[in-house]
Amino acid sequence: MEIKVCTIVDFTDKKENTERKIGDYFNVSPERFIEITEKGGNWIVPVADISEILSKYKEDINNKSNKESSDKESSDKKKQKTKKSEKNGG
């Protein structure tokens, strides 16, 4: 598993033999993330993959919307039954 990170402080990545500039995005292993942040400092921050988060959010919204529609239909049907029952003297 890799962690997508963003550089927040320019630094020389000696392990990868490259210069990391502010705003650079790259992937690191969890071990490498810890190594950079513990040995170097707060030079990088993890970046969430929001596509998965948004997908889950949209799914939750759709499920909530579908449930509300279903609940409303059930409620409307109960009201109709009550009205029919009242009409029939029941």
- CA distances in angstroms from 25 to 5, 32, 73, listed in the order given: 6, 14, 49
How high is the pLDDT of residue 63? 85
Helix/strand/coil for 13: strand
Per-residue pLDDT, 48:
81
CA distance 59 to 37: 35
Distance, CA of 55 to CA of 62 (rounded, Å): 11
49: tokens are 């993959």
- Tens digits of residue pLDDT in 49-76: 777 777 778 888 888 877 766 666 666 6
- The token duo for 27 is 């992937």
Q: 16: pLDDT confidence band, cut at 50, 70 and 90?
A: very high
CA within 13 Å, CB half, 57:
5
Q: What is the pLDDT of residues 23-49, one digit of tens each?
A: 999 999 999 999 999 999 999 999 987
Three-state DSSP state, 44 = strand
